[in-house]
Amino acid sequence: MSRFAAPIAEQIWDMKYRFKEADGTPIDMSVEDSWRRIARSLASVEKDAERWEETFFEALEDFKYLPAGRITAGAGTARSVTLFNCFVMGTVPDSMSGIFDMLKEAALTMQQGGGIGYDFSTIRPKGAIVHGVAADASGPLSFMDVWDAMCRTIMSAGSRRGAMMATMRCDHPDVEQFIAAKSDSARLRMFNLSVLVTDPFMEAVKADGSWDLKFDGKVYHTVKARDLWNKIMKATYDYAEPGVIFIDRINEANNLNYVEQIAATNPCGEQPLPPYGACLLGSINLARLVTDPFTDAAEIDDAALETLVATAVRMMDNVVDASRFPLPEQEEEAQNKRRIGLGVTGLADALLMKGLRYGSEEAAAQTEDWLHRIARASYLASVELAKEKGAFPLFDAEKYLASGNMMNMDEDVREAIRTHGIRNALLTSIAPTGTISLYAGNVSSGIEPVFAYAYKRKVLQKDGTRTEEEVVDYAVQMWRDLKGDAELPDYFVNAQTLDPQDHVRMQAAAQKWIDSSISKTINCPEDISFEAFKDVYMQAYETGCKGCTTYRPNDVTGSVLSVSEEKKAAPEAVATPAAEPNQPHGDVIYMAEPLDRPQALEGQTYKLKWPDSEHAIYLTINDIIVGGHRRPFEVFINSKNMEHYAWTVALTRMISAVFRRGGDVSFVVEELKAVFDPRGGAWVQGKYIPSILAAIGGVIERHLIATGFLEGEGMGLKTDPQAKVVGLDAPRGKACPSCGQFSMMMVEGCMTCSSCGHSKCG
């Protein structure tokens, strides 16, 4: 019997986490093999490896503990990848040579799949004097453009794309240009942007005071604090960026504020880190731990939770020793502090199982209670590890206990740390879990509300037919299994029907017991007023949040998951080259937006010699890496035979245009192979080919099979190419560049596909 709760979970495992040979041959024959691989790898650093392998396997079993994607995909594979998710790079020097040294380090880190963060506040502003070269400085944004180009290059080379975060202080002279950078839709597309907002700035905003923009002690401009705040708010209102990071609060709450200063975060903001800081992530799946769901007795057992947390902490601590690191400075930083980021997923589903409405005072109180229990269990587990293996090298009992979140920790936990030390300086973080949540059976992601309780996707089968598959939220499916067709209660709410203040309330409740930070998106209605939108950020600041990320759908950001209570007029149908016969009139197939072309692509050139033709035809097929998979992007067809010129040019342009739309383009092969020349075909390599166009289709097909895009000759895609929006009330987002489905949504600060798990953040 399959361990997977839904077909999509097995598909995600196969696409993202299943260990395979380079040619695609599976090594992990089942998900149990994947769990065993991870457990064995992380237990390998233990003295009693066999015992801990079994303990680790039990934690992974049935998706109770979910290591982050890099661990799940990379542990035990012997591949040159890092198991760490997050890196903040070294402080960028204010010199040309230093800046480009940092660029090289960033490239090496991204090559191994790490997401990186940078504070660009250390680079002098545009127009500042550069002594010795008789020139003015070009400013930090010009160098951010260089980083952006580097990231595109790494992506085009076929490596797994790592996301980037750029931060800038609210008092940097170029902060206004930084705030406006994303108004140019073509600029800094590889970056997430966040402004580092200080407490004095927020006080100046509230007092309507003046604010100095300065660098190296020199004041370049003085502005009204409220005007600058309004610029930040208007940019994120219009473009969803920049985010806001309350940097003074982060440093004040940091357990290590006696040895480090933080000025940047990882790409999704949940992990504030010092220079060369690194962190690994994992999540407790609360949706799997609720007993007696949808009854008055529904609860999460204390003992079971504590045992699972303790095992997870030990596994994550072992990752510090088992992982590779792109740079020696990152390894040293990780070893000295042994930072881990244990979080949760499935929170909204767990609340539903207890009959609690997400965003209510009762749900916030329950969230705080669960996370308090997890914080206690993780700190006490780390104390036990310190007894066995020693405290983290920079541990100083009195300084540690007098810093950050430790001031608010329970006294018995503080006393245990004072007596025995602690293995890990920081332990908790709530990270984006979009893909691993799908893998775990489509549980709600992180601490986010449920986005859609059910939607339809189309799956291309191996025989070329399509089936329609319902993707159902984990808690909703459990309700159906227990209650049959009974109507969902009123406390089943989703992201679109919640008030923004409900989101903030949940984030603030969770933050109290999270020693790092939280990746969360506060969904705002499209028609929210600007003043009400600003109030969301002020509420986040006043209630103790460490940052704030909002998403307001509009013409620029896209109408993500436009779920409504009333049915709206059907969107205008868009023609598709892959339309199926006998489509009901109510079904609309949406074509994906064109994929962007990187500056460099990998491809292959094929020589096609058609009998009785004087000149050969050459086909060059270039591929793009999307969602970790190669897919065709463009075709060039060339021949010295001038009789072929017009149709080869036309075919080149048309096929390339179709390929760049993404989704299921396998029909191109089948259409070309079906073309018959009335003058007769030819025998080529012992096979009758009905036309030269059919021969071209055959060449393209062989290429798509060789690159893993097609299953085999005459067969369909290896992965679901695109989705059909079924029903007018179904959620519809932007087209996913990986699978073509219209299910891109803003989740935990990152555009993520709910169908295939593709994420902008890598």
Please list the active-site residues.
266, 268, 270
In this structure, which amino acid lies at residue 429? S
Left if phi > 0, otherwise alpha if psi is -120 to 50, otherwise beta: which for 662? left
Query: Is beta strand 210-215 parallel, antiparallel or unpaired with respect to 466-472?
Result: unpaired
Strand partners, 67: 282
C-alpha angle 554/526/357, rounded to 5°? 130
Q: Compute the distance between CA of residue 304 and CA of residue 310 in angstroms, rounded to an integer.
A: 10
123 — phi, psi (to 5°)? -95, 135
Peptide bond preceding 242: is omega within 30 degrees of 0, i.e. cis? yes
- Whether 546 and 435 have beta carbons less than 8 Å apart is answered as no
The tokens of 649 are what?
């040019």
Angle between helices 530-542 and 500-511 (to 10 degrees): 10
Burial label for 219, CB within 10 Å (0-12, 13-18, 19+), is exposed
How big is the chain by its Cα radius of gyration, in Å? 27
Helix, strand, coil percentages for the chain (3-state, nearest 5): 40, 20, 45
Of 643, 625, 623, 645, the residue nearest 633 (C-alpha): 623
The tokens of 307 are what?
């045992």
C-alpha angle 222/228/233, rounded to 5°? 175
- Whether 735 and 723 have beta carbons less than 8 Å apart is answered as no
In this structure, which amino acid lies at residue 560? V
Q: Compute the distance between CA of residue 231 and CA of residue 473 in angstroms, rounded to an integer.
A: 38
The residue written with tokens 């035990």 in the block is 76
264 — phi, psi (to 5°)? -155, 165
Q: How far is CA 456 from CA 6, 337, 514, 737, 752, in A?
A: 13, 45, 35, 18, 17
406 — phi, psi (to 5°)? -65, -25
570 — phi, psi (to 5°)? -65, 140
Of 762, 735, 580, the residue nearest 660 (C-alpha): 735
Cβ partners under 8 Å of residue 739, min gap 6: 627, 663, 719, 720, 721, 722, 723, 753, 755, 756, 758
The tokens of 423 are what?
């293995």
Q: Compute the distance between CA of residue 350 and CA of residue 341 in angstroms, rounded to an integer.
A: 21
Q: Compute the distance between CA of residue 408 and CA of residue 253 in angstroms, rounded to an integer.
A: 10
C-alpha angle 512/518/519, rounded to 5°? 160
Element holding 159 (H helix, E strand): none
Q: Compute the distance between CA of residue 383 and CA of residue 106 in angstroms, rounded to an integer.
A: 34
CB neighbourhood size of 61 (10 A): 14
First to last CA, the chain: 32
Of 307, 308, 301, the residue nearest 344 (C-alpha): 308
Burial label for 182, CB within 10 Å (0-12, 13-18, 19+), is buried
- Whether 251 and 263 have beta carbons less than 8 Å apart is answered as no
Element holding 612 (H helix, E strand): none
Q: How far is CA 721 from CA 181, 365, 629, 716, 740, in A?
A: 33, 42, 12, 10, 6
Element holding 213 (H helix, E strand): strand 210-215
